[in-house]
Amino acid sequence: MSKLTQKANRKEEVQAYKRQKILTAATTLFREKGLEGATMRAIATEAGYSTGAPYTYFQSKEEIYAELLGISLGNLSKAVKDAGRNISSTSESARHRFSAYFEYYYEHSEDLQLGLYLFSSGEIKRRGFSEDTNRHLNGKLMSLMGYMANCLHEIEEVSASIAQQETLDAISHITGILLLHTTGRLNTFGANPQEMIDRYIGQMLKRLET
């Protein structure tokens, strides 16, 4: 490897490192202050860089937010797809994949906060998300939901329309339980979120198999 190539590789490594530090800093600030409360200046300070450093990699805090959300959705999708591998039973495969959706957000509460943008009224979009970014992010979620619906459709005699409706119902139910858990409301009632999810998924599969 030539010295010129080594130098170029080193430069790429440094840029990737700085970019990741900015993303990490932004994650901290978005969690503490939300998108509205965070600023590019604060993100730079949190990362230990000069005020203008984040602009080398991102045009705005909304672009950083979109990047983090895209990464989160990719990780969620991988977790869901990996959960049902090597399971021959279609219903058991679906059970594991729907459970994995819940478990991912249960274990990554910061990703849940990011992901709630996709279920919002569009406030973030009006603050700076481009139409292309909005379509891209929602497309990732719709692709995952389509994949999960197909898992249900593979169960014998389950139509595509029923599978889609059950998937939407399940995602809505899971999101509600996650929110109640995150806000501490479930503790008030002494409810266990994992047990609630297991019960719901079991009831859903029973409906589809009868």
Instruction: Answer for the pair 112, 105: CB distance below 8 angstroms, yes or no.
Output: yes
Neighbours of 174 (CB within 10 A): 22
- 61-209 is classed in which CATH architecture? Orthogonal Bundle (1.10)
**CA nearest neighbour of 84 among 148, 162, 17:** 148
Question: Domain 1-58's class?
Answer: mainly alpha
Question: pLDDT category, 1, cuts 50, 70, 90?
Answer: low
Average per-residue pLDDT for the chain: 88
Look at the block and give the residue holding tokens 């249960």. Answer: 106
Q: Where are the domains of the chain?
A: 1-58, 61-209
Helices (H), the chain: 3-37, 40-47, 61-83, 90-107, 109-115, 123-126, 131-153, 160-182, 185-188, 193-209
What pLDDT, in 10s, does the model give residues 69-98? Answer: 999 999 999 999 999 888 889 999 999 999
How many residues are given for the chain? Answer: 210
pLDDT band, very low/low/confident/very high, at 57 (cuts 50, 70, 90): very high
Give the mean pLDDT of 117-132: 58
pLDDT of residue 80: 96
Half-sphere exposure of 194 (CA within 13 A, CB side): 6
pLDDT at residue number 126: 46
Phi-psi region of 86 (alpha: psi -120 to 50; beta: other; left: phi over 0): left
Report whether pLDDT(116) > 70: yes
Please give the model's pTM, rounded to 2 decimal places.
0.84
Instruction: Round to whole Å and give the CA distance between 82 and 51.
Output: 40
Residue 46 to residue 7: CA distance in whole angstroms: 28
pLDDT of residue 85: 86
* Residue 174 or residue 2, greater confidence: 174
Distances (CA, A) of 48 to 44, 135, 157: 6, 33, 57
Segment 188-209 mean pLDDT: 95
Name the percent of the chain lying above pLDDT 90.
Answer: 62
Distances (CA, A) of 111 to 6, 28, 61, 69, 123: 36, 12, 17, 7, 18
